[in-house]
Amino acid sequence: MVAIAFIGFGEAGQAFSGGAPARGYDHKTDVPALREAKLAEFAAAGVQACGSAAEALAGAGAVICVVTADQALEAARSCAPLLAPGALWFDMNSVAPETKRAAAAAIDAAGGCYVDTAVLSPVNPRRLAAPLLLSGPHAAAGEAALKAAGFTGTRVVEGPVGAASAIKMVRSVMVKGMEALAAECAIAAARAGVTDAVMGSLGGSFPGIDWPARTDYCLDRMMVHGLRRAAEMEEVVKTLEALGVEPVMTRGTVMWQRAIGERGLAPEPGLAAKVAAIDSNDKEQAA
């Protein structure tokens, strides 16, 4: 039996590979322009690329689902009938508790075992040591399976499906929101010609943080993963609304993450270069 099957094989899937024999499926292999690059990523990770989800899931005892947030529920629903009886479905996507509960209903109804899994840090460079929270009725069994596959940062949290996701979603209000604030501040500072003064002032108010380096990192993440982060933050909006919290700031985060991600810019070294690239792109679009 294949120890692990991956549905989706982007940055997270590649980071979590290597701990056990695995195979996987990513829809990009169905796109002629993207196929060869994605197959090369599978090969580099030592994971067997499959031509369909059915092939990847056949006989698999555990499945790691790492697609984009907007595809998480559809992935669960479409893959549920293909699962081996009792297979563990690790939903590691950044989605709202309600979305995870809907996915769990599909997986469990088909005879699988759904595990709400929240990833609480960037997957690189920690990879298998990335902190993971697990919740739901199959969390303990899921933790044992992940540990057997080489994961070392797992922790079960009490509560039903959605408990782990709630922690992730509420945490993202701050984490992804800080990225958006950093971008807004850096772009405005550059256009006003006061970047050094602003960064110096922030350092005085919040000692211990290297603000130019931190802002540079935030822009890097948004340029590379802004579209994926925007989809995640849409799920955070749903989470906050369900809790009766008006997501005023989080809607702004969605806007900034998407706006920078849509530019498709390759991040260059250094904060000034990143801000200049964004400004130049803005001017080109305005022309």
- What does the pLDDT read at residue 20? 83
pLDDT > 90? residue 282? no
Name the pTM for this structure.
0.91
- What does the pLDDT read at residue 19? 77
Q: With pLDDT > 90 as the criterion, what percentage of the chain qualifies?
A: 94
pLDDT > 90? residue 8? yes
- What does the pLDDT read at residue 285? 62
Structure token digits, residue 235: 């799920």
pLDDT > 70? residue 284? no
Do the beta carbons of residue 69 and residue 232 sit within 8 Å? yes
Q: What is the mean pLDDT of residues 44-57?
A: 96
DSSP label at 101?
A: H
Do the beta carbons of residue 231 and residue 68 sit within 8 Å? yes
278 pLDDT band (50/70/90 cuts)?
very high
CB burial readout 65-94, b (16+ within 10 A) else e: bbbbbbbbbebbbebbebbbeebbbbbbbb
DSSP of 134-148: EESTTHHHHHHHHHH
DSSP label at 71?
A: G
How many secondary structure helices (H) and strands (E) does the chain include? Answer: 11, 8
- What does the pLDDT read at residue 280? 83
- What does the pLDDT read at residue 18? 84
pLDDT > 60? residue 57? yes
| End-to-end alpha carbon distance in the chain | 57
Single-letter amino acid, residue 256: W
- What does the pLDDT read at residue 1? 41
Q: What share of the chain is helix, strand, coil (3-state, %, to 5)?
A: 60, 10, 30
Q: Which helix (H) or strand (E) holds 172?
A: helix 163-192
Q: What is the mean pLDDT of residues 141-163?
A: 97
- What does the pLDDT read at residue 3? 77
Q: What is the mean pLDDT of residues 8-16?
A: 96
Mean predicted lDDT score pLDDT of the chain: 95
Q: Which tens digits make up the pLDDT trace of 197-215?
A: 999 999 999 999 999 999 9
- What does the pLDDT read at residue 12? 95
pLDDT > 90? residue 164? yes
Q: Which tens digits make up the pLDDT trace of 114-127?
A: 999 999 999 999 99
